[in-house]
Amino acid sequence: MADRSLRGMRLGGQSLQTEEGVVFSPRLTHTYHCPSCGKDTDMVFSAEAEAPDTWECKYCSMEATRMVGSEPVVVEHAESKTPRSHWDMLLERRTRAELEELLEERLTYLRARRGQKVNA
């Protein structure tokens, strides 16, 4: 009876699944060359996936460029768009004169609520 008893397994220690009958999807290996450290990084992607032109170098964490044959891919960095501030967006909707008029109206209202004398 002792030889037929169930014995416990360590969690995550071994998988009971096998790779029998599994058909793997086609894969392509792409090489990325890092100009900073001079080393190559090989990455495996699905044949259906579009490989990125740059990848983080696993040795120095700088940007590595994908190699096509013996030449690196030309990467075009788009100019970064300057973020608009709240003031810029406000000026798109109103003129400066309109803003000054609204400010004066609001200050008049607030002063009247506080009971202050209005300078007109």
Residues 31-87: tens digit of each pLDDT: 999 988 999 989 999 999 999 999 999 899 899 999 988 888 887 777 778 889 999
Kindly provide the b/e burial profile for residues 60-80, where b requires at least 16 CB atoms within 10 angstroms of the residue's own CB: eeeebbbeeeeebeeeeeeee
40 Cα distance to chain centroid: 23
Which pLDDT does position 2 carry in this prediction? 56
Strand, coil or helix: what is 14? coil
Which pLDDT does position 8 carry in this prediction? 65
